[in-house]
Amino acid sequence: MQHRRLGDTGFDVSEIGLGTWNIGSDWGEVSEAEGREAIRTALDAGIDFIDTADVYGDGRSERLIREVLDEREAHDEVTVATKAGRRLDPHVAEDYDREHLEAFVDRSRENLGEDTVDLLQLHCPPTDAYYRPEPWDALAALADAEKIDSFGVSVERVEEALKAIEYPGVETIQIIFNPFRQRPAELFFREAKRRNVGVIVRVPLASGLLTGKLDRETEFPEDDHRNYNRDGDAFDVGETFAGVPYETGLDAVEELRPLVPEELTMAQFTLRWILDHEAVSSVIPGSTSPEHVRQNAAVSEAGSLSHATHGAVRDIYEAAVHEHVHHRW
């Protein structure tokens, strides 16, 4: 497993991490035993960067991470990033303040069994929050109080990322980036590299579209966001299939399939494509399948894709996907 520096946090993290949204909620029924096994498998495969959030299963994901790390006495060996803010109801920019964020952080510290959270990220706050000093001042105060080590923000839009990195102390940006969401590779990646900001890539497989294993007959459980959030009824539609209409995404995957080297799966090809971008610090696919977790981790040792392949992926994006996503996120 190769490691990359996570901005100027001081953490060197595995370039393949583990996302744990599906361990917590919104991906159909997942048992706690399955969740623990996915985390164990990731650690065994050399993954030492785990991303979670306080709303994933209302703290369930954080708690399962703590339990597995406790088993191995591995807390100091693994960097855990969590998120806060989505517990606000209503979810408004004005409430991203010290009082609310400190309460959320204290709860996450308890769930994770840590005095200090390694990395605390605001969890896709309203756009107005990026134009207020209070959220960023609150994070700096929590860092001064040693309740968090480093802080950043998980964003929906490139414009939000560019605004966030203007604030002193913002060390990481988590953003959606994959062959169906290529806009971050333009101005944002250049600015992140220039400012030494760590880039964490989420939704790398476009909610499973870029595994190549979904089709028009695939059915999703009622409690799976790929069922209930296709039109953005619950949260930003860009979180589901990366915002690409499902059938359009399936067609684009078929266009990508001939580009995949024999030794890689479609999912591995996608993760390698992401890692070929130098600005990326870590990519955090989520899976409860031990086999898939191991396959994801193995991408770190795969060779880079050719310049021609990258060009072909860009051509498919521009022809089939660009019009649906590029202007929105």
Average pLDDT value over all residues in the chain = 96
How many other CB atoms are there within 10 angstroms of residue 58's CB atom?
13
pLDDT attached to residue 70: 96
Task: Give CA separation, 131 vs 119, 127, 232, in Å.
Answer: 22, 8, 24
pLDDT attached to residue 138: 98
Question: pTM for the full model?
Answer: 0.96
pLDDT band at 27 (very low <50, low <70, confident <90, very high): low
Summarised one tens digit per residue, pLDDT across range 143-191 is 999 999 999 999 999 999 999 999 999 999 999 999 999 999 999 999 9
DSSP 306-318: PHHHHHHHHHHII
Distance CA 149, CA 110 (A): 15
Is 224:239 a contact under the CB 8 Å cutoff? Answer: no
Summarised one tens digit per residue, pLDDT across range 98-107 is 999 999 999 9
For range 57-64, the mean pLDDT:
96
pLDDT attached to residue 75: 87
% of the chain with per-residue pLDDT over 90? 95
Tell me the Cα Rg of the chain. 18
For range 4-20, the mean pLDDT:
97
Summarised one tens digit per residue, pLDDT across range 271-312 is 999 999 999 999 999 999 999 999 999 999 999 999 999 999
Q: Which residues contact 196 (CB under 8 A, 6 or more apart)?
A: 7, 8
* Tokens standing for residue 66: 């703590």
Summarised one tens digit per residue, pLDDT across range 237-281 is 999 999 999 999 999 999 999 999 999 999 999 999 999 999 999
* Tokens standing for residue 285: 């696919």
Q: Which long-range contacts (CB under 8 A, 24 or more apart) does 273-277 make?
A: 273/178, 273/179, 273/305, 273/309, 273/310, 273/313, 274/177, 274/178, 274/201, 274/204, 275/15, 275/16, 275/299, 275/300, 275/304, 276/304, 276/305, 276/310, 277/177, 277/185, 277/189
Distance CA 252, CA 320 (A): 6
